[in-house]
Structure 1
Amino acid sequence: MISIPLAPIYVGMLIFLRVGLVFLFFPLFGERFVPVRVRLLLGLATAIVLTPVAPVAVAAFPVTPWEFVQLVLMEALLAFGVGIIGRVLFGVVQFSGQIAGEQMGFGLVNAIDPTGAQQISVVAELQYVLAILVFLAAELHHVFIGAIARSFEVLPPGGAVLNAGVVDFVMRLGHVLFLLSVQFAMPVIIIIFCINVALGMVARAVPQINVFMESFPLRIIAGVSMMMIMLSVSVGLWLGMFGDMEGMIGELMGLMRG
């Protein structure tokens, strides 16, 4: 009777689960315009390459069904955490554009985001698309895939655990999202504030001028001009933020290693 070793099958399933779910959750790979079949095939191809060389943290295979379910849940949580990191980093760019757009008067001018099937500011959508182009042009998607491959050295299949440090890490990501978004939008916020102060002084000095109507084109021109002036600086800040992605993924892996 031919006996089939189950350990490599279990390991391959865990690797495919981690990689496949990361591709499902992470921005760019996990957007709606990328078919689910393509994401799963990409995860399967990566898992096939990594399975022969990935270390195993489980002492004994095969495991009981309940133990395997626990391993599956931990790998799913790990992949979700990696996806959250990517969503936060790209969300910083998008949210800063949302803040800037509302300051410029685009609060009611929304566009349908085809990647998320939601209405967002046109400025936020523009910055999000630019961030994706910068991410691809800098070949950071290669860095991301390399980080996922190296994650099996830091945290082999079956080695993930959930602890309080992971929850604290996710909470800090929310803080980073809000703080960096405001910082990135600060140039537009400052210039619009100065324009509002100046228009307020004009309205006080010359009440006959309809300052409210005159403020719309001024805010749009000033905001767009400031964004164009700061574009090179913004791209540099985005690259620096995306460059920290590998370190953040490594920190998450270290926390879930226990």
Structure 2
Amino acid sequence: MEPYVTVDQVWAGGLLFARLGAIIMLLPGIGEAYVPARIRLSLALLLGMALYPVVGHTLPALPPTTGGMVDWILREVATGLAIGAILRLFTSALMTAGEIVSMQTTLGFSQTANPMQAAPGST
């Protein structure tokens, strides 16, 4: 094992960080406004370092042109945003379903503060 980091390793780690950072930005709970951005970035970096030994060999090599680099980074960020948006949409659908069930079962009168929706909601 080399005591230094190669350019391909930095490139693969950057791609992994780009996707994980985009996912964590939209992840329900962690991606909320009350969680500082520094904490989210630190979590993305920590996850990237933990996942690099597992998926680092499957990531593409460094492209020869700057346009190719930008293309790969935009692809990874778009994929991460799509994954995060799907997760956020799924949890929003679950919260809406819970509201409907609580209204139908007459549990809707017990309104509590919900910081994620910035409005009171039934538990």
TM-score by length of structure 2 reads: 0.74
Given candidates 50, 55, 58, the residue that maps to 1:56 is 58
1:39 aligns with 2:49: no
What are the within-5 Å matches in structure 2 for residues 1-258 of structure 1?
5-53=6-54, 54-58=56-60, 60-100=61-101, 103=104, 104=106, 113-116=114-117, 118-119=118-119, 122-123=121-122, 126=123
CA separation in 1, counterparts of 2:71 and 2:34? 32
CA separation in 2, counterparts of 1:110 and 1:79? 34
Residues 137-179 of structure 1 show CA distances to partners (whole Å, capped at 9, x for unaligned) of xxxxxxxxxxxxxxxxxxxxxxxxxxxxxxxxxxxxxxxxxxx
Structure 1 runs (4+) deviating above 3 angstroms are 100-107, 109-113
The structure that is helix-richer by fraction is: 1
What's the Cα RMSD here? 2.9
Residues 66, 111 of structure 1: alpha-carbon distance in 2 compared, 3 angstrom cutoff:
farther
CA separation in 2, counterparts of 1:57 and 1:122? 43
- The alpha-carbon deviation at position 33 of structure 1 amounts to 2.7
CA separation in 2, counterparts of 1:16 and 1:88? 23
Query: Unpaired runs of 5+ in structure 2?
Result: none
- The alpha-carbon deviation at position 110 of structure 1 amounts to 7.3
Contact 1:19 1:79 in 2 (8 A): yes
CA separation in 2, counterparts of 1:70 and 1:112? 43
CA separation in 2, counterparts of 1:115 and 1:32? 9
Q: Greater relative contact order (Cα 8 A, min sep 6): structure 1 or 2?
A: 2
3-state SS of 2:58 partner:
coil
CA separation in 1, counterparts of 2:112 and 2:75? 37
Name the larger-Rg structure.
Answer: 1
Q: Which amino acid aligns with 1:26?
A: L
TM-score by length of structure 1 reads: 0.39
